[in-house]
Amino acid sequence: MDPFDRLLAEIEPLTGPPAAPDFLLTWEKSEPEIRRILAVAEALRILRRENRSLRCFDSGLAVSLFRDQSTRTRFSFASAANLLGLAVADLDEGRSQIAHGETVRETANMISFFTEFIGIRDDIFLGAGHRFMEEVAAAVAEGHREGVLEQRPAVINLQSDVDHPTQSLADLMHLARHFGSLEALRGKKLAMTWAYSPSYGKPLSVPQGVIGLMTRFGMEVVLAHPEGYSLIPEVVERAAAFARESGGGFRVVPSMEEAFAEADAVYPKSWAPYRVMERRTALLRAGDTAGLKELERECLAENARHRNWECTEAMMRRTKNGRALYLHCLPADISGVSCPAGEVAASVFERYRIPTYVQAGYKPYVIAAVMLTARFAHPARLLDALRRRAAPRLGPPPVGA
């Protein structure tokens, strides 16, 4: 069987619409749903390489709403939408009326008349981003139920305060391809560790997303951070429970050294302590600039005490055969390159630079797969039809349009 047909066979028994149309947290999705998304992403990648048209939306909008800066996720979302035939429309709150007291409920409907997907990044305020996405989802669900919207737009989390599913799914795809398969991840040790950065206030969603997903596939996940840099407790508990269920492992250790020991893969990345994010959220809400300055000063001073949390060559030598796979969601704080001292030594990063680009390159496929499985109850059938179709992605189609 060729790899594409094998993927179709894998997807086939997993048909039916997803339990919920939105994708907000990986742990709200069943394991078969996650597997289906990865298999569809892989199938799309094959079809694109075969120069086949993947257009399955003749029209429709993919709305993107970024409440925080983004380059790679923004372009991944735009690329995925375009691949399937959708046009991107940015809801720029600076220009729109959300900023002027209009209710979320109303706006969500007003942007959704012909909208298939709403991609949202909202990761600044702890306790708010995920809730905002749920509000938008509830609003368009009501709009669809009440006949306002002819289709139910699916909300896609492009990074919240809680999870960053399109990132962690791309990470999982990268791991699976690197080690051979999803099954091959079983028993592999992944070190998700805090790393020093000269900035502060980085979201928690990446480490939370990683520990909440990789524990479901039997990996031995080790979370490491200095004292006080904890993640949201519920997410950590969930990761532990997933590890128990999947036969993998999960533990929290207090040093990068311990986490890296014999690790098969490492993910060293800075984040702000959960408690700091709570204080910061309160200060941001209050518009307390002086308070924010003071908090930043405090946190940078605290960060500075952990400069040794750097992914150096010595640290890498502690990993399995000294050759663990280095992962990063990018951009990394590279010592001597993007900052005097940061998350990773320049020589380590340079060795893994291309692999981190490859890792990022799975994101457009993952997003396209999330879209496709949210809309089509029989993705295998659709993929098969796309492959049989005579239309090339590049070059004039043979007949008709």
In the complex, minimum distance from the CB of residue 123 to a second copy, in angstroms, rounded to a whole number: 14
In the complex, minimum distance from the CB of residue 201 to a second copy, in angstroms, rounded to a whole number: 13
**Residues paired with residue 115 on neighbouring β-strands, in sequence order:** 61
Which of helix, strand or coil describes residue 142? helix
In the complex, minimum distance from the CB of residue 84 to a second copy, in angstroms, rounded to a whole number: 8
Q: Is the Cβ of residue 60 or residue 291 nearer to a second copy in the bound state?
A: 60
In the complex, minimum distance from the CB of residue 227 to a second copy, in angstroms, rounded to a whole number: 29
- As a whole number of angstroms, the distance between CA 365 and CA 44 comes to 7
Q: Is the Cβ of residue 4 or residue 376 nearer to a second copy in the bound state?
A: 376
DSSP H helices, 164-320, are: 165-179, 205-214, 233-246, 256-260, 274-286, 289-304, 313-317
Distances in whole angstroms, Cα of residue 34 to Cα of each of 24, 169, 214, 328: 13, 8, 11, 21
Under a CB-based contact definition with an 8 Å cutoff, are residues 384 and 12 in contact? no
CA-closest candidate to residue 152, choices 18, 309, 36: 18
CA 96 to chain centre: 26
Per the listing, tokens 């919240």 go with: 160
Query: How many CB atoms are located within 10 Å of the residue 55 CB?
Result: 15
Q: Is the Cβ of residue 233 or residue 388 nearer to a second copy in the bound state?
A: 388
Quick one: CA dihedral 229, 269, 167, 41, positive or negative?
A: negative
Q: Which residues contact 247 (CB under 8 A, 6 or more apart)?
A: 186, 218
In the complex, minimum distance from the CB of residue 146 to a second copy, in angstroms, rounded to a whole number: 5
Per the listing, tokens 């959704």 go with: 112
Q: Is the Cβ of residue 77 or residue 217 nearer to a second copy in the bound state?
A: 77
Q: Is the Cβ of residue 14 or residue 46 nearer to a second copy in the bound state?
A: 46
Under a CB-based contact definition with an 8 Å cutoff, are residues 80 and 112 in contact? no
Q: Is the Cβ of residue 225 or residue 363 nearer to a second copy in the bound state?
A: 363
In the complex, minimum distance from the CB of residue 23 to a second copy, in angstroms, rounded to a whole number: 19
In the complex, minimum distance from the CB of residue 106 to a second copy, in angstroms, rounded to a whole number: 6
Q: Is the Cβ of residue 29 or residue 375 nearer to a second copy in the bound state?
A: 375
Q: Is the Cβ of residue 76 or residue 230 nearer to a second copy in the bound state?
A: 76
Q: Label residue 41 left, alpha or beta by phi (over 0 means left) and psi (-120 to 50 means alpha).
A: alpha
In the complex, minimum distance from the CB of residue 349 to a second copy, in angstroms, rounded to a whole number: 10
Per the listing, tokens 């039997």 go with: 218
In the complex, minimum distance from the CB of residue 378 to a second copy, in angstroms, rounded to a whole number: 10
Per the listing, tokens 């979302």 go with: 77
Q: Is the Cβ of residue 206 or residue 243 nearer to a second copy in the bound state?
A: 206
- As a whole number of angstroms, the distance between CA 161 and CA 129 comes to 5
